[in-house]
Amino acid sequence: MSTDLGGLRPSRVEHLDARYWDPEDLDREQRRQLDVCHGCRMCVNLCPAFPQIFEYIDDEADGDVEKLTTAHIRHFDALCYECKLCFIVCPYTPPHEWAIDIPRLVLRAKAVETRQRGLPLGRRLLSDPDLVGPLGCAAAPVANAVAQQPKARELMEQTLGIHRQAFLPRFANQTFAGWFAKRQKPANVGHNGKVALFYTCLVNYYHPEIGMAAVRVLERSGVEVICPPQRCCAMPFLDEGRLEAALGQMRSNVDSLAAAVAAGYDVVVPEPTCGMMLKKEYPDYLHSDAAEAVAGRTYDLAEYLVKLHREGKLRTDFAYAPGKIAYHMPCHLKYQAIGRRSVDLLKLIPGAEVQVVDRGCSGHDGTWALKKDFHELSMKVGSKLFAGLRDANANVVATDCSLAALQIEQGTGLRPVHPIEIVWAAYPDASPEG
């Protein structure tokens, strides 16, 4: 085993090994890793999970992880919302011989628990955007209006476990996929690149304007854009321990995207979590050459556009200055270890002043902030970020993650936009119809 310091590439997920599903083996591994974490504590200020487990070890287990109860460890699992920040700062991740990877270990614990106990209806619905999204969009005005009614929210809290005060994503009247299928595609593209847009369920059902801006910016610079058949990236399934369903989603997406990659297309993703999944999770869960091929050609949207700029291919005939931009970098972009590419992109606009507000996680993290058990805690997690964004006194707030944007909106009253929307709006002939 290597004693090198940890890197940002985790190891394979051995879910085909019977030991992965063995509760006793899982318990031993969780105690082993938590013992290392307890001795190090570099992660203590990153999320609520680590302070809580350290308190359990110190105050209720006499400093001995072997004395932790199963309930202690399950509470730790529930408080982990997979931001990945602990993996970023941990010096003992693979290839170090201690091989610490708490986020992956928690996902394993959730998969084992779900296989043993199943899931209640509310958590099943929250984990399946491709079930809820089409229904919501088909009745968007009604669905969005109902979601604002106090009585309806009380009922949702009682039956589905969704906190009555948590802001919910607003369904779009038209999906991004529907818009893309109907639009007239330009003929003079492809000479500067070919992109398969993995547009994500968040863009498709809730924020088609992000996908529209991405397509327009790419095509303006001579890049051909296609949208292969695709499903949710599967992160919501992993979050709820639905590993078999997640693997099905992953395989379906890899089959579709691998064909595009083989035809010479790069894969571009506008949402950080979904890009993280394609780049890092798919190869380690699927163990396939096709997944590796897709991962190797996958780019975050800003990452790809900055690459175009460095190659002299990005149109920069900007005409409108956005002024001061307060920017929040999502955790899953940090985990991709590509640098602050959205900042680099925004700074290409003359007159843009970008202030990075690096005050931790927004606290939304998939569906965690929606749940009645965690919503109030999630707002505390994001409180430093909210204060930093308010204090920035910017013309516009930007973040690449639509769910972080939702949490920021609830915490500040400000409505963030995706960086690509700012870029598109800076062009002289930008318009909603363009």
| Cα distance between residue 210 and residue 274, in whole Å | 14
| Cα distance between residue 148 and residue 238, in whole Å | 29
Least confident of 2-6, 321-325, 395-399, 423-427: 2-6
Band (2; pLDDT cuts 50, 70, 90): very low
Domain endpoint, select from 117, 134, 157: 117
Tokens standing for residue 233: 């990236």
CATH number reported for the structural domain that contains residue 397 in this entry: 3.40.50
| CA 396 from centre of chain | 22
Whether the Cβ atoms of residue 419 and residue 400 lie closer than 8 Å to each other: yes
Whether 41 maps to a domain, the answer reads yes
Task: Quickly count: other Cβ atoms within 10 Å of residue 310's Cβ.
Answer: 10
Contacts of 300 (CB under 8 A, 6+ apart): 268, 269, 270, 272, 275, 333, 336, 338, 341, 400
Whether 373 maps to a domain, the answer reads yes
The tens digit of pLDDT for each residue in 199-248 reads 999 999 999 999 999 999 999 999 999 999 999 999 999 999 999 999 99
Whether 109 maps to a domain, the answer reads yes
The confidence score (pLDDT) of residue 7 equals 53
Q: What does the pLDDT average to over 365-394? A: 96
Tokens 């400000």 found at: 414
Whether 33 maps to a domain, the answer reads yes
**CA distances to 112, 123, 216 from 118, in Å:** 10, 10, 43
Domain endpoint, select from 61, 94, 117: 117
The tens digit of pLDDT for each residue in 178-194 reads 999 999 989 899 999 99
The tens digit of pLDDT for each residue in 12-40 reads 899 999 999 999 999 999 999 999 999 99
pLDDT score of 393 more than 50 = yes
Is residue 298 helix, strand or coil?
strand
Contacts of 311 (CB under 8 A, 6+ apart): none
Whether 11 maps to a domain, the answer reads no
Whether 124 maps to a domain, the answer reads no
The tens digit of pLDDT for each residue in 303-318 reads 999 999 999 999 999 9
Long-range contacts of range 76-79, CB-CB < 8 Å, 24 or more positions apart? Answer: 76/34, 76/49, 76/52, 76/106, 77/106, 77/109, 77/110, 77/113, 78/373, 78/374, 79/47, 79/48, 79/49, 79/52, 79/374, 79/377
| Cα distance between residue 24 and residue 4, in whole Å | 29
| Boundaries of domain holding 84 | 18-117
The identity of residue 63, as a single letter, is G
CA atoms within 13 A on the CB side of 68: 26
pLDDT score of 114 more than 90 = yes
Q: Mean pLDDT of all residues in the chain?
A: 95
Whether 93 maps to a domain, the answer reads yes
Q: What does the pLDDT average to over 30-56? A: 96
The confidence score (pLDDT) of residue 432 equals 58
Contacts of 224 (CB under 8 A, 6+ apart): 189, 190, 193, 194, 195
Whether the Cβ atoms of residue 38 and residue 67 lie closer than 8 Å to each other: no
Is residue 267 helix, strand or coil?
strand
Domain endpoint, select from 117, 132, 147: 117
Whether 96 maps to a domain, the answer reads yes
Task: Quickly count: other Cβ atoms within 10 Å of residue 115's Cβ.
Answer: 14
Instruction: Give backbone dihedrals phi and psi of 130, rounded to 5 degrees, phi first.
Output: -75, -10
Domain count, the chain: 2
